[in-house]
Each structure stands twice: as structure tokens, then as C-alpha cells.
Amino acid sequence: MRIFDPHIHMTSRTTDDYRRMAAAGVRAVVEPAFWLGQPRTNPGSFADYFDSLLGWEPYRAGLFGIRHHATIALNPKEANDPRCRPVLDLLPRYLDKDGVVAVGEIGYDSMTPEEDDAFARQLALAIEHDLPALVHTPHRDKARGTRRTLDVAAESGIPPGRVLVDHLNELTVEIVKESGCWMGFSIYPETKMSPPRMVEILRRHGPERVLVNSAADWGHSDPLLTLETARAMLDAGFDADDVDRVMWSNPVEFFGQSGRLDLSGADQPEPAFQGSSILRGGS
């Protein structure tokens, strides 16, 4: 089984996670730019983070045979902080770089006017740079937030087939499906979406335009929940082609629209990490 985790924050994960992911069949990941827990206080802090997403993290992933790409944006949470907003002026320079396969994550956290503005400006950047958009939906008031997300995306003029609306659940899947946007589901260990609930959604709505991710970050999360969901699909009677479509072909098709997805050798992970000293620890 080959797995593409289209939303995971590897910056917050250990080298041991990479090792376990590679062993579980994860061959490619997309890491969306997000907040760091500790609030950033200036745009330079974003620049270092973006450089890390495009340099250090792909290198670290590569040691385990995992292809790493990123999406770049001012995240919805920090869009509310006047110290962070100037990063919007830095984005065009990053959006032209190899390894950037979408603008994201953008969208709403608390649905403030500042978030409205940052969201609209970054959808315009996606169009300008010919990139798809990865859109986060709020964890509170999700139905209203998702409706507003779809309205703002439609107003921007970006084609729905170039928008991935993420963190969906049973309440929001239908309207996103009707919109023509792609549907992302984040599988969590305890709260929100679980593998059995995901299987039920796939049974009802089918695998078309559906992506499944672990959204693993600094919180209670698990980078192997993609594999667990794939197994739950097989147990429920989905065939290997359906699983491959959701876990591999769909993310390849969506992010492939950037023209920058490089999956060369992703099916033959080289155990290079065994010979590498850089991640063995020490200083």
C-alpha cells in the first residue's frame, strides 16, 4: 500500500515518526504552513519557517524515502495579529519556489474581518501564481464557517477544482461536494473524525475528490491514522483500487495541478537514513 498524507505538520514531529511512517507505506507528504503554538512576533519568523519547510524538512523526509512538499500562506489564526500580517508581502517570493504545491492553509479560524481580508488576498495570490488552494475550516461553528468559505472562494474566481476544503465532517461534506471543490478529512485519535466515521462517509459519498490526512501536529495526533483508515476501508469491503485512489491518486491529482509535484522514486524508498549521521542525535 502506498500512502500520500496531504496534510501533516512534520516540523512538530520526531525523526522516529518519519521512520514509522515510511514503514507504514507513507511515500509522500504535503506540509501546510501553519502557526507554531507560540505566537510569532514578526514576519522574519515566518521567513525562517518557510525556508525550513522548503529546505530542512524535505531533506529530513528524504532520508526516509518520503517525498515532501509544502503549501505556503499566512494561516487564519495569525491573520488576526497585526505583527504577522506584513508576511502577506513576502508570500509572492515563496509562491514561486519549487516544492510549493499550493497556497495554504488559508481560510477561517474565528471568522473575523481580518481573516476575511487575508483569505481573499491569498485566494487572489493562488490565481496569480497558478496554484491550487488548501483551505482550513474552523473547528467551532463549522457549518457556517464552511458555507462562508465556499462563498468567498467562489467570489474570488478560483475554479472549484483547484480548491481543497479541509477538516470536513458529516455536517459539511455535502455542501463541499456540491460546490465541486475537493474534500479533505483529518483523522484524529479521539475527538472529531475517526477511521470508522470516515469509512461511513466514503460509503455514502464515494471516493471521488476525497482526501484523507492525519493533520498530525503538536497536539494529540497520530501520523499513522492514514494507514488505519486504509485498513478500515479494506475491512469494510472497499477494494485496493478505492484505497489507492483515496490514499494516493487523489492527492497526486489535486496537488499535481501545481505542476511542481515531484514523486520520482517515491515507490522505492531508499534506506538512506541508516547511513546518515545527521539525525542520529547529539549536537
Only one residue has cell 501520523, namely 223
Q: How far is CA 106 from the centre of its chain?
A: 11
The HSE-up count of residue 154 (CA atoms within 13 Å, CB side) is 12
Nearer to Zn ion, 34 or 64 (CB): 34
Distance CA 125, CA 162 (A): 13
Span near Zn ion by CB under 5 A; candidates 27-35, 70-78, 173-181, 270-278: 27-35
Span near Zn ion by CB under 5 A; candidates 33-41, 106-114, 149-157, 239-247: 33-41
What is the size of the binding site for Zn ion (CB under 5 A)?
A: 1
Span near Zn ion by CB under 5 A; candidates 30-38, 71-79, 123-131, 156-164: 30-38
Nearer to Zn ion, 215 or 243 (CB): 215
Nearer to Zn ion, 34 or 182 (CB): 34
Residues in CB range of 18: below 8 A, 6 or more apart: 10, 60, 61, 63, 64, 66, 273
Nearer to Zn ion, 169 or 273 (CB): 169
Nearest-approach distance from CB 165 to Zn ion, in angstroms: 13
**Residue number closest to Zn ion, CB atom:** 34
Q: Which helix (H) or strand (E) holds 153?
A: helix 142-156
Helix (H, G, I), strand (E, B) or coil at 268: coil
- Which residues bind to Zn ion, rule: CB under 5 A? 34
